[in-house]
Structure 1
Amino acid sequence: MNQPKVCVMLSTYNGAKYIDEQLESLLAQSQVDLHIHIRDDGSSDETIQKIRGYAKAYPDQIRIIDGENVGVIGSFFELMRQTQPIYDFYAFCDQDDVWKPYKLSRAVVKLQSGPLDVPLMYCSSTQMVDQDLNHLNVWPHLPPKPLSMYNALVENSCVGCTMVLNALTFEQIRANVPSDLTHIIMHDWWIYLFVSSFGEVIFDEEPTVLYRQHQGNVLGGSNDKWFIKWKNRWNRFVNGKNHSILSKQARLFLELYRDKLPSHQQENLQRFLNQLDCNGVKRIGYAFKMPFYRQAFLDDVVLKLIYVLRKI
């Protein structure tokens, strides 16, 4: 019986310190026909030399795409553009994690149990670790609320390095990547929004990725106390760094997919954007009854607050 063909899309940037561990863990994946596409985003350290060494040793499995520095969002979308739709499943990969040997095979089994004719995406919890792979905590836990468009519009509940897509998801997103990526918050968030709107998200509580936390890792989970997290988030909103990112991404998504969305989703999305232009009283009324939600109670309160303040 033929093993499922899985393409892992890995974007690198000055990742020489940990890239060997990541690639070794990819090559150790079991029960899949593995292919790895690596795009380097203009590294200035030894990353290129290291990945070329692996490509030379595994020419049938590893393909390197050289590129200029376009940032993490552009790099992953360029990987999608340059990956032909000839595989059964597609996974995203960071440069400094370690995957358990059954990460891909477990994801494939979960995806194969889902419907065949809709976009599907697998994601999972991660085992957070320090620089030396000592275990910290598991993050994120199983979301308590549905992984629907009404969550995905205002929160990313899926970690990009755990994502595995079925072929339909990959092909549909690849065929409709916006020419201007500046209003996309992150590639994984955009894909979560797409799949939750048109298909099904499968969340696995089993951590299959050792998710390394270090000074260079500015995204993802954190061990900070909740009040430190929220102080930092509030400061970012006050300083303007996060202003309008959610509404800009929502507007772009509606622009691209309006005709494909069910009418009730169209209407709810449009109302979410329109109510921002109303007076304060109407914004308050809408914020406290809108269908969009974040998973945690405190996160949801902050969502309503930043909506009323037009910081969304």
Structure 2
Amino acid sequence: MVTILLATLNGEDYLKAQLESIAAQTYENWQLVVGDDGSTDGTISILEEFSKQYPEQVTIIKNDPPQGSAKDNFISLIQNSYGPYFMFCDQDDVWKPDKIYLTLQKMEALEARYGEKTPILVHSDLSVADHNLEMVAESFFQYANIPKRIVLNQLMVQNSVTGCTMMINRCLQQYFLRPLPMSKIIMHDYWAALIAKVFGKIGFVNEPTMYYRQHGNNSVGAKDAKNPVFLYHRLKEGKNSYRRMMIESMEQMQGFVETYGEEIDNLDVYELLESYGELYYKGKIKRLSFYKNHHVLKEGNIRKLMQWLWG
């Protein structure tokens, strides 16, 4: 059984196509748990119609009061759902038919190797599409110029796990079932990736399993990291914007150590995470020295340049 967690908010424009892609999965042993965060359009009607078609597989939760963000909505779903495996679903994408099958296949292989008591995360590549599902890029990882291989030193400053491709096992879910520093968590997928990297294993399906729809209302979208216009705007945003993002990653790490620090057995890893969490208190020379000495650098020359300039 795979539990699919879907966070919705005024998603009527694209939701039906996403639901149909879930129903068309080659792996049929799924259940869908939806957290709606106060939709005022036709989202609930679309969900209820889908629930009538699959009454034994669909649960709709109407958040009252609303959670207030996709992050909070997804974490609430993680904390209040059950199953051996959990996948994460955005309201505006479309899954390819074998998405669950391929991801679960990788998960089961990793559990067979490392055991079910190991927190495991599996993610995949994805295809980038426009609002009409016309192809923009076959591979999100090439398009956004982010690494497929996840190294802890890099993960601390740059998340390369896309939540809508992610599956976690029950062991990893347990790390969410405790008081969490919600204000310090950047996104649920970033937090899950850190848990898996520090305490368990991360697996990757090296093919696109879904269409990542880009449109004007995306809260998080794919960016062409090689596009000169995108790079110009990033540079134009300047120091304050970039520093804010870096500080958020440091505060997140501080929260991570506060939450799980006593469980980190590797002293070198503990000291690396703790030092990064405290780095925003330091001067720029000490920060740059830390990046260099510990290889804590983002992927891509432009990202590295901004890190050296403003980090």
For normalisation by structure 2, the TM-score amounts to 0.89
Change (3 A) 1:225 1:57: same
Q: Retained in 2: the 8 A contact 1:144–1:295?
A: yes
Distance 2:227 2:293 in 1: 25
* RMSD, aligned α-carbons: 2.1
In structure 2, what residue type is equivalent to 1:29? Answer: Q
Q: Retained in 1: the 8 A contact 2:158–2:298?
A: yes
Distance 1:305 1:31 in 2: 48
Q: Retained in 2: the 8 A contact 1:140–1:221?
A: no
For normalisation by structure 1, the TM-score amounts to 0.89
Q: Retained in 2: the 8 A contact 1:22–1:95?
A: yes
Distance 2:295 2:56 in 1: 48
Q: Calculate percent identity across the aligned residue pairs.
A: 28
Q: CA deviation at 1:164?
A: 0.8
Q: Which residue of 2 aligns with 1:310?
A: none
Q: Which residue of 1 aligns with 2:4?
A: 8
Residue 157 (1) aligns with residue 165 (2): no
Q: Which residue of 1 aligns with 2:199?
A: 198
Distance 1:164 1:189 in 2: 13
Matches within 5 A, 1:1-312: 5-67=1-63, 68-69=65-66, 70-84=68-82, 87-114=83-110, 115-116=114-115, 117-137=117-137, 138-141=139-142, 144=147, 146-170=149-173, 172-178=174-180, 180-223=181-224, 225-240=226-241, 243=244, 244-261=247-264, 262-307=266-311
Range with greater deviation from structure 2 (66-75 or 35-44) = 66-75
Distance 1:175 1:66 in 2: 21
Change (3 A) 1:197 1:103: same
Q: CA deviation at 1:76?
A: 0.4
Distance 1:295 1:282 in 2: 21
Q: Retained in 2: the 8 A contact 1:122–1:164?
A: yes
Q: Which has the higher helix share?
A: 2
Distance 1:250 1:173 in 2: 15
Q: Retained in 2: the 8 A contact 1:6–1:32?
A: no
Q: CA deviation at 1:290?
A: 2.3
Q: Retained in 2: the 8 A contact 1:288–1:304?
A: no
Q: Secondary structure at the match of 2:208?
A: coil
Size of the aligned set, in residue pairs, is: 299
Distance 2:5 2:243 in 1: 28
Q: Retained in 1: the 8 A contact 2:51–2:59?
A: yes
Q: CA deviation at 1:36?
A: 0.2
Q: CA deviation at 1:227?
A: 3.3
Cα shift readout 1:50-92 (whole Å, capped 9, x = no counterpart): 10111122110000000133211111011112213xx221100
In structure 1, what residue type is equivalent to 2:71? Answer: I
Distance 2:274 2:236 in 1: 29
Range with greater deviation from structure 2 (127-136 or 289-298) = 289-298
Distance 1:51 1:208 in 2: 23
Q: Retained in 1: the 8 A contact 2:251–2:277?
A: no
Distance 1:282 1:64 in 2: 49
Distance 1:34 1:281 in 2: 51
